[in-house]
Amino acid sequence: MSRQEALKLAEEAGVDLVEISPNADPPVAKVVDWGKYQYQKMKEQQKNRRSNKATELKQMRFGLKIGANDLEIKLRKIRGFLSEGHKVKILIFFRGREMAHKELGYVLIDRVVAELEDEAILEQKPVMAGRNLSIVIRSK
């Protein structure tokens, strides 16, 4: 169909002639309502944006003197974050004189990593920043 015929056909229908593939031989055009076409494209992009949710970096804080049951509860919460596909930053904070015993923080980190070794991979090695010792883990 010639360009003139296509334009006439689109004008009679009260819609627009949209060039879909200009590099094809012959060029491909479509008779559509441009406003409706743009609206559908926008809705499709919004739907794709919603489904491609970026992984968040969740954070879980531990005190150095955490009890066994409290640790287990926090580990359960971390497992939930990992199953949803999030990365988790585990932060151990030191108070007062606890800073003199940083090795206890590394022991706690090792204990947490050992508990989560089936579900998680260590993404960042233990880093001491101020009064905090942190690691980042992600699901396998």
Whether 75 and 107 map to the same domain: the answer is yes
Report the amino acid identity of residue 65.
K
What mean pLDDT comes out for the span 74-87? 92
* Sign for the pseudo-dihedral over CA of 53, 55, 57, 62: positive
pLDDT attached to residue 54:
67
pLDDT attached to residue 76:
95
Look at the chain and report how many structural domains it folds into.
Answer: 2
Whether 130 and 103 map to the same domain: the answer is yes
pTM flag (> 0.85): no
Whether 47 and 79 map to the same domain: the answer is no
Whether 66 and 133 map to the same domain: the answer is yes
C-alpha span between 132 and 140 (Å, rounded): 26
Whether 96 and 76 map to the same domain: the answer is yes
Whether 61 and 43 map to the same domain: the answer is no
pLDDT tens digits, residue range 82-137? 998 899 999 999 999 999 999 999 999 999 999 999 989 999 899 999 999 999 99
Whether 134 and 81 map to the same domain: the answer is yes
User: Residue 81: is its pLDDT beyond 80?
Assistant: yes
- CATH number of residue 76's parent domain: 3.30.110.10
Whether 74 and 132 map to the same domain: the answer is yes
Whether 46 and 85 map to the same domain: the answer is no
Kindly report the backbone phi and psi dihedral angles of residue 33, in degrees, each rounded to the nearest multiple of 5, phi listed first.
-80, 115
Range of the domain at 128: 57-139
Which comes out higher in pLDDT, residue 22 or 52? Answer: 22
Q: Check: CB of residue 135 under 8 Å from CB of residue 113.
A: yes
pLDDT tens digits, residue range 10-41? 888 888 888 888 888 888 888 888 888 889 98
Whether 15 and 62 map to the same domain: the answer is no
Which comes out higher in pLDDT, residue 55 or 82? Answer: 82
